[in-house]
Structure 1
Amino acid sequence: MQWTSALAIYLLMWVFSAFFVLPFHGRRAGDEDEVFVQGQEPGAPVRFRPLRIMVQMTVVTAAIFLLFYLAYLQGWVDPDVIAGRA
């Protein structure tokens, strides 16, 4: 596998990991007694911490990519089958 292919796969996994990480974040505005912003959606988080979310996405993606790359090295993932050549 070329390093550019590995990087592209890693970045795709990183973006998709947001769908796994984001639902586990914090208290919602509806759970609090007072609303911080008038008209705020009750399901919106009270405090948005993008750096924390990106770090968690990176950790999750690193674990998933490590498993994927291990499967690639062991031959469990055949590039010819994925590309439709076999």
Structure 2
Amino acid sequence: MNLYAIVAIYFLFWVMAGFIVLPFGLRTPDETGETLMKGQADSAPSNFRPGIVALRATILATILFAIYYANYVFGWVTAESIIALGR
């Protein structure tokens, strides 16, 4: 696997991890006791911190990519083994 493929696949894992960790830790104004501003949705987060979300996404993406790359190198799960499950 060349460097460009590694970077592209890691980026895909990072974006996926970003969407996975996005809702964790967010609280609505009803939960924090804040008043809603005019035009603000009831479900809008009041404590969104993109730095924490990016850090969590980076950690999760690194773990998932490490598992993916180890499977690529050692061949734990192959196309043949997946096809064999269908029989």
The TM-score, its normalising length taken from structure 2, stands at 0.78
Residue matched to 2:22:
22
**What are structure 2's unaligned runs of at least 5 residues?**
80-87
Whole-angstrom distance in 1 between the partners of 2:54 and 2:34: 28
Deviation at 1:48, TM superposition (A): 1.6
User: What is the deviation of 1:33?
Assistant: 2.7
Q: CA deviation at 1:36?
A: 4.8
Q: Which amino acid aligns with 2:27?
A: R
Q: Distance in 1 between matches of 2:46 and 2:6?
A: 36
- List structure 1 runs of 4+ shifted beyond 4 angstroms: none
> Where does 1:37-52 land on structure 2 (aligned, <5 Å)?
37-52=37-52
The RMSD of aligned alpha carbons is 1.7
Q: Which runs of 5+ in 1 are unaligned?
A: 82-86
1:37 Cα offset (Å):
2.4
Contact 1:14 1:58 in 2 (8 A): yes
> Identity over the aligned pairs, expressed in percent?
35
With CA pairs under 8 Å and 6+ residues apart, which has the higher RCO, 1 or 2? 2
Q: Give the Cα separation in 2 of the matches to 1:2 and 1:76.
A: 20
So what's the TM-score if we normalise by structure 1? 0.79
| Count of residues paired in the alignment | 79
What amino acid is aligned across from residue 76 of structure 1 in structure 2? W
- One-letter code aligned to 2:33: D
What is the match of residue 84 of structure 2?
Answer: none
Paired residue type of 2:9 = I
